[in-house]
Structures are given as C-alpha cells and as structure tokens.
Structure 1
Amino acid sequence: MKRRFATRIVGAAVLAAGTFAPMTVSATTPQAAAATPLEAMQRDLGLTRDQALEQLDEQAQAARTEQLLRGSLGETYGGAFFDSQQGKLVVGVTDPAKFGDVQAAGAQPRTVRFSSSRLDDVVRGLNEYRTRARDDSGVTGWYSSARDNQVTVTAKPGARAEAMRFVHDAGVDTAPVRVVESRETPRTLADVIGGNAYTINNSARCSVGFSVDGGFVSAGHCGKPGDRTATPSGSFQESTFPGNDYSWVKVDSGETPKPLVNNYQGGTVAVAGSNEATEGAAVCRSGSTSGWHCGTIQAKNQTVQYPEGTVNGLTRTNACAEPGDSGGSWLAGDQAQGVTSGGSGDCSSGGTTYFQPVNPILQAYNLKLLTQ
C-alpha cells in the first residue's frame, strides 16, 4: 500500500493542556460525531475511505499473523506492531535465524535486543513491587512497547531521579528500561456518561461497554458489587478496581442486551468477535460526551497510577476521551477491544486514553460476549 498520512500523536506537553472536571447530568451534551465509524477513522487518522477500508483489512490479517508467530517463535519473539505506512506487521526476533519464519508468515522481521517475555517480566516485577512499596516516587505509570523494544516508565516533571530509584529498588532488569518525564496526570473518567449511558445508585453515571449473556461489562471504577444501575436497570455482580479496571452488570428482566455499539449518529456497529488488535493498529471508541473518536494503539500492558490506585494491564492509545466516556466501547473494525478506563487531555487539544482489554474481563468473570 502506498500512502503517507499523519496519524495524530499527542506529546507530553499536550497531556497537561486539560484536566477533567466533573460534569453534571444536565450539562452533558454529546459532541458532533462523524456519521459512521469509517468516517471517524478518516477524520481522526487522516485517511481516505479506501485507505481506511484497506487498513482495517490489513490490521485484521496482522492480528492473526501476530498470534501465529507469537506461538511459533517462542522465546525469540520480540513483540510486534502494525506499520500503517507500509500496511505490514513488523515482528521483532532476538535470533536473526528466525527471519525466514517471519517472512514466510507474510510479516517483516527485524532484530531486537529483548524478547517480549523479558519485557513482560520487567512490567510484572514493577507491578509486584508497587503493591508493597510506598508511592512516593513520582512515577505515574509504565508500559512495554514492541516498537521501542523497551519498558518506558513515566514520571512527573522533575521526578526522574526518584523514578530511577523506584526502578532500581524494584529489583527488575534495568537494561530494557527508560524513564521519561511527562506532564500526564491520568485519572478515571466516571464523572458522567460515555457510550450508552447508565446511572449508578441514581447519582454517578458511566457507560455500557459490551453486551454479554445476561448483562454488560464496563469499567470497575464505575461501581461495586451490589450497586444498582438504571437505564438499563440491573446490579453490579463483580467489580475490580484498582489492580484492574473492569466490572460486569447483570440486567433486570425486560432489558435486552444486544451485540451493538452506538456510533451516536443514529447508527450502530455490530460486534463480531474480540480478536485482539496489534500494537500500531487503528482503534475507535464510543462515548456520549465526546462522540466517536479514533486513534492508534501505542502500547499494551500499561500500568497507570491513578489517584485512586494502580491499574495494570491497560492498553495505551492516542485517541481522545473526556469525562463521561468511562466504560465505553473500543473497537478495531468489528472486533471488541476493551472498555475505557481513564486518560489525560480532551478532544479539543488531544490526549492519551487507556482501555481495559475485554478478553481478560470475559475470562475473569466467565462471561460470553454477545456477537452478531
């Protein structure tokens, strides 16, 4: 594919441009949204219609290839990302002798220093240390990136030395780690509605993520077991936050979960499955505060330190979101990806938004995603 376009990337300086303020129920008004999810991709990613359709096909194939190579390459697998400029999956390997295997699968190989499992071990070690250490390091989060082949630890401005000490004290392998100062101040987005609205205990509002047998999944910070919901009516059965950020609500008799996501222009997107998109792939999210917006997956297995506590295993994106978009749906084409957790910035200046992947939610609570 021959195309050159600029996907909007939001830098650390922009992340401080806006902090999310609570919004009342009566003040909530959806922003103007693109007429269709495909048009939202064109708007947010700078694509023509044909380019957007082509990229969806390419990244769907990339996701299948990534899963295949992740298993076959074993400990030599160094992560993968989708290169939207070339329309190809790029796969890192620690052993150049595996180049032929990658090429045979239709992907582009590159030599990397660290295996994916080595990076995951660093993230796991930081997660474990965080559960028993005082939070006085100025660290705001950490994530592994296949494109960078390293673990990035983000710290508040001026806290670089503290963050480096945090990494050292955690006892993890420091070779793959870099520390970056950022003005990003992540917070959860449960102030008002996002996606399809529902209220919790007749006060706070969040959004429906995806329909499952008997109810729907959403963000964990939206409610705790026993809390009642309205429109749709039901009750929280399970909820995890912090640590993770997911929950599921069992709806009352008369409510009918359907495998659809609202695009806020009188249409819906049918959910066909939950195949996980690769790093670099385009994703779109639904939220009734800011409408339908798209971006790209920047990293997976992100750890974020919210004021309420640390959440592990999030996916980092450069799609924008605003208060009230919490719990809302994330899609790659027609494949469910996750539910909105939190972020920084807004849809005027841009920002960083994190979502909780949907498959771990389904597995944790033994739920079946409704598909069409």
Structure 2
Amino acid sequence: MVGRHAVGARRAALTALGALVLTTVPSAAAAPPPPAPGPAHLSARTLGADRPPAQVLRAMERDLGLTRSQARARLVDEAEAGTRAGRLRNALGGHFAGAWVSGATSAELTVATTHAADTAAIRAEGAKAVVVRTPLSTLQALKERLDAAAGHPRSRDTPVWYVDVPSNRVVVQATKRSAATAFIKAAGLQGRGVAVRVTADRPELRTDLVGGDAYYINDSARCSIGFSVTKGSTQGFASAGHCGTPGDSTKGYDKADQGTFKASTFPGKDMSWVSVNSKWTATPDYKGKGGKRAQVAGSVQALVGSSVCRSGSTSGWHCGTIQQLGATVQYAEGTVAGLTRTNVCSEPGDSGGPFVSGTQAQGTTSGGSGDCTSGGTTFFQPVNPILSDFGLTLKTAQAGAQAPQDNAAADAWAPGRVYEAGQTVTHAGVRYQCLQTHQAQPAWSPDATPALWQRLQ
C-alpha cells in the first residue's frame, strides 16, 4: 500500500512538471499537447552534446547513415531526452516502466508507465507516453532471479538475459529453446512472461593472445586501453577485468614498460584499472577514426536507443546504438551482470576499449559476437561502476578535476562521487534529486546543472 505521504510527494512532483493531477484517468482528447520548443538546449550545452568531436560525427555518418547535420541534431536530442526522462522517472515513482529514444535520424523520447493517468505528465515533457503492464522495478527483480540461477546445468546454452524496456519484458537469449525453458524454470519464472530469443550467437570475451598494438599483459595477451583515470596522485586507465589480475604487469603499444593492474573484477563484473609509471600521462583523450584524438567531458549514462561509438586496437572506430541496459552475459569463463548491449561490432583485442556517446564516457568493451565485416553485437561494462567500485576519478576535458571527497557529509554533493538516477543530495542548503547517473564534475554542481539535478521543493 502506498502511504499518504508518498502519494502527496508524487502529486507534487507531477505538478512541478506542469502536469494536471487528476483523480480520474484522462481521455486522449483531454491530454495536453506537447509543449512548444523551449530555449536553446540547456542539457546539450551542459553535457557538451552541442560540441561533439569531429570523429564522433564522421563515424555516425558512416555507421548510422546520417548526414552531418542529422548527427549533430541527434546528439543534442539524446542529451535533452536523458534529462526529461530523469525528471519523469523521479515524478512517476513506482509507476515508471522505463524510457528510450527511437528514430533513424532523430531521437524521439518514449516513457512507459503502468498508470494511464500519468500520460498527461509524460506528454507535458514532450515525450511519447506508453502504458504497459509491468513497472521497471518488477522487471529488474525478475532479471535478478535469473542472475541467481546462473550456473544451472542448462544455462551454458542461455548466454544472455536482459530487461528489454521497449517491449516491457525480460528476455532470455538462448542457442536452444529447450535450454531457455529449463533455465526459466530453474529461476522459478515459468508463467511470468519471460520471452525467449533463439540465436546461434554466443558472446566471447574480446581478448587476443596473438599480440599487436594497444597494451600487453605479462608480455602476451593484448587488450585496449579504456579511459584515463586518477586515484589521488596515481595515474592510470580503466579497462576490462578479464584482461588481467592484480599484480599483472603491462607494456604499452611500443612494448615499453607501462604499469601494473591495481584491481580487477571478473567474473561478476568485467572491470579493472591499471596504474602507470611516470613515462605515461593520463589525458581525457581517446582515439577516433584514423587514430585522431577526441576527448570525454564526463560520464553521463545514455538512454536505450542512444547512439554510441567504440574504439579498439583491433578493429578501430565503429558506431551503433544502445539496445539494453543491465544485461547479464554468461561467457565460457564466467557470468557477468550489469553490462550494456549494443549493435556495435568488435573483434578480439578490442576488450577494454572505450565506448562514448557524444562527449560522455559510457564504458569499456567486454565481449560480443560477430565481427566488423559481417556485423555483430558487443557488450560493455558501464564506466560509472568502475569509478565507484575502485574509487577512481575519470580524466575529463573539464578544468579543475578533483578526486572524490570522502570526508564530505554522506548526503552532501561532492565532485568525484558517482551519483545514481533518483539519488538525493544536499548542496548549499537545498535538496536535489539526480536525473541521470554520472560522476560529478567540479563544474557540475546541482544548482548549475538542471540537466543532471532537479531541485526538490
């Protein structure tokens, strides 16, 4: 039962969005029209989406079939959609069933709810409203039941499972339908509407024992550098957990001594970080097409349907879109949860390389299936959990980067901390609620970034 205080808070949030709170379900005719276009894109400016690197635009033209102007417009639309989706997530509470963007050349925001009376608030934010049966929290709980059943004798033939937000269901990807049925039964989810997708694809970790450029582990295996990070005065980079274990040594692309794995998690998650010696300098740079450099400005998590690009030491620079968040993949070497599924191609040796959306770091390559000749699927480990778990600070183009302030009050906003969507903080005596998961940058205080934070009344 929802308490009286919770109901009042939710109504206040909906009212703050400009929605008329009704006690009856509004008819389609009564629903307010989308608001007129507002001022210049505030969220896009905040997140740097209106200043995308040329490498990102060129790759989006090639891989997504967009013109230069369409690519620019899509990045701006995606940034704006993330902020609007965050406000609606906070306002709809337990009714929220997910958000995504769609469109070949644009990024139309759709927000799902389990309560028809919420459609007016969704449309008032300029989003398409969809009424579905199951809230996102329930879908996530069902998916966690599958996570707990990983290791079932038949689960080797069910290598991937995830919440598919647009279809409002949990999906098990299997090489055999019988294996999927047995796995779903083992999780106690028979009759719960879990869908099955049968395909021969079986994701594999993107590591390569042949060698090449990028960085080498113990003079043999090769992976790709992800994003530069710092921890106190120590510099290094984030990469994939399956690339190495703590204490393993690394050499750079030139085979010169480089650093040491300081921490690594695999399986369960697929994350690591390497500290480097004084010959190497952490920068916000990553390689785009032809090896030309671009920079990241932050780590704001993109929505399902958003464009995303990847760099790797084997196959180079490729783009596509985000298909699902929070997927679980059962590799031959172990199960990894919390990955993001994309239709970007990758190949062995690309593991650990960076995924970016616009100017925002998204994660590091984990594994996939297919290749960059015929196309494929690639999963990445989101970067914010890497930063949070290991206490790292992403190296960005923002001036005055700072490490997490561990001595700050638990609920006080602080640069360097990773904030999840829905989390609340205090800043300058005012309460704010997070709209989009990100690591706080010094210039991104809640009062200055309505793209990321909503003031609570």
TM-score, normalising length: structure 2: 0.71
Q: More displaced, 78-87 or 246-255?
A: 78-87
Q: C-alpha distance in 1, partners of 2:210/2:162?
A: 28
2:150 aligned partner: 130
Residue 183 of structure 1: SS of its match in structure 2? coil
- Which of 102, 106, 127 in structure 1 is aligned with 2:126? 106
Q: C-alpha deviations, 1:89-124, integer Å up to 9, x for none?
A: 100000011112212222211111111111100111
How far does residue 37 in structure 1 lie from its aligned partner after superposition? 2.2
For the structure 1 residues 248 and 137, does the alpha-carbon distance in structure 2 shift closer, same or farther, using more than 3 Å as the test? Answer: closer
Q: C-alpha distance in 1, partners of 2:224/2:296?
A: 17
- Which of 300, 304, 309 in structure 1 is aligned with 2:334? 309
C-alpha RMSD of matched pairs (Å): 2.0
- Which of 260, 275, 278 in structure 2 is aligned with 1:235? 260
How far does residue 341 in structure 1 lie from its aligned partner after superposition? 0.3
How far does residue 41 in structure 1 lie from its aligned partner after superposition? 0.5
For the structure 1 residues 241 and 135, does the alpha-carbon distance in structure 2 shift closer, same or farther, using more than 3 Å as the test? Answer: farther
For the structure 1 residues 83 and 146, does the alpha-carbon distance in structure 2 shift closer, same or farther, using more than 3 Å as the test? Answer: same
1:216 aligned partner: 237
On the 8 A contact 1:326/1:339 being kept in 2, the answer is: yes
On the 8 A contact 1:194/1:327 being kept in 2, the answer is: no
For the structure 1 residues 88 and 195, does the alpha-carbon distance in structure 2 shift closer, same or farther, using more than 3 Å as the test? Answer: farther
Q: C-alpha distance in 2, partners of 1:45/1:353?
A: 16
1:169 aligned partner: 186
Q: C-alpha distance in 2, partners of 1:333/1:195?
A: 28
1:15 aligned partner: none
1:154 aligns with 2:179: no
On the 8 A contact 1:88/1:107 being kept in 2, the answer is: yes
Q: C-alpha distance in 2, partners of 1:266/1:344?
A: 24
Q: C-alpha distance in 1, partners of 2:87/2:269?
A: 27
Q: C-alpha distance in 2, partners of 1:150/1:234?
A: 44
Q: C-alpha distance in 2, partners of 1:307/1:102?
A: 42
For the structure 1 residues 216 and 302, does the alpha-carbon distance in structure 2 shift closer, same or farther, using more than 3 Å as the test? Answer: same
- Number of aligned residue pairs: give it: 336
For the structure 1 residues 124 and 283, does the alpha-carbon distance in structure 2 shift closer, same or farther, using more than 3 Å as the test? Answer: same
For the structure 1 residues 163 and 150, does the alpha-carbon distance in structure 2 shift closer, same or farther, using more than 3 Å as the test? Answer: same
Q: C-alpha distance in 2, partners of 1:236/1:75?
A: 41
Structure 1 moving runs of 4+ over 3 Å = 133-137, 192-196
1:14 aligned partner: none
Q: C-alpha distance in 1, partners of 2:112/2:212?
A: 36
The unaligned stretches of length 5 or more in structure 2 are: 1-53, 398-457
For the structure 1 residues 92 and 194, does the alpha-carbon distance in structure 2 shift closer, same or farther, using more than 3 Å as the test? Answer: farther
Percent identity between matched residues is 49
How far does residue 135 in structure 1 lie from its aligned partner after superposition? 4.6
Q: C-alpha deviations, 1:180-220, integer Å up to 9, x for none?
A: 11110110011169998111111111111101112110000
Letter in 1 for 2:79: A
Q: C-alpha distance in 1, partners of 2:84/2:150?
A: 34
On the 8 A contact 1:193/1:326 being kept in 2, the answer is: no
1:7 aligned partner: none
How far does residue 137 in structure 1 lie from its aligned partner after superposition? 5.8
The 5-angstrom pairing of residues 269-308 of structure 1 reads: 269-308=294-333
1:32 aligned partner: none
How far does residue 47 in structure 1 lie from its aligned partner after superposition? 0.5
Higher RCO (C-alpha 8 Å, min separation 6): 1
For the structure 1 residues 137 and 368, does the alpha-carbon distance in structure 2 shift closer, same or farther, using more than 3 Å as the test? Answer: closer
Q: C-alpha distance in 2, partners of 1:276/1:173?
A: 33
Q: C-alpha distance in 1, partners of 2:161/2:241?
A: 20
1:357 aligns with 2:377: no
Letter in 1 for 2:342: T
Q: C-alpha deviations, 1:4-56, integer Å up to 9, x for none?
A: xxxxxxxxxxxxxxxxxxxxxxxxxxxxxxx8221110110010000000001
Residue 244 of structure 1: SS of its match in structure 2? coil
Residue 381 of structure 2: SS of its match in structure 1? strand
- Which of 54, 57, 60 in structure 1 is aligned with 2:76? 57
For the structure 1 residues 47 and 281, does the alpha-carbon distance in structure 2 shift closer, same or farther, using more than 3 Å as the test? Answer: same
- Which of 218, 226, 237 in structure 2 is aligned with 1:201? 218
Larger Rg belongs to: 2
Q: C-alpha deviations, 1:230-282, integer Å up to 9, x for none?
A: 11711111111111101011111231110111114242111000000100011
Letter in 2 for 1:235: T
1:37 aligns with 2:62: no
Q: More displaced, 185-194 or 327-336?
A: 185-194
1:22 aligned partner: none
Residue 36 of structure 1: SS of its match in structure 2? helix
Residue 216 of structure 2: SS of its match in structure 1? strand
Letter in 2 for 1:40: A
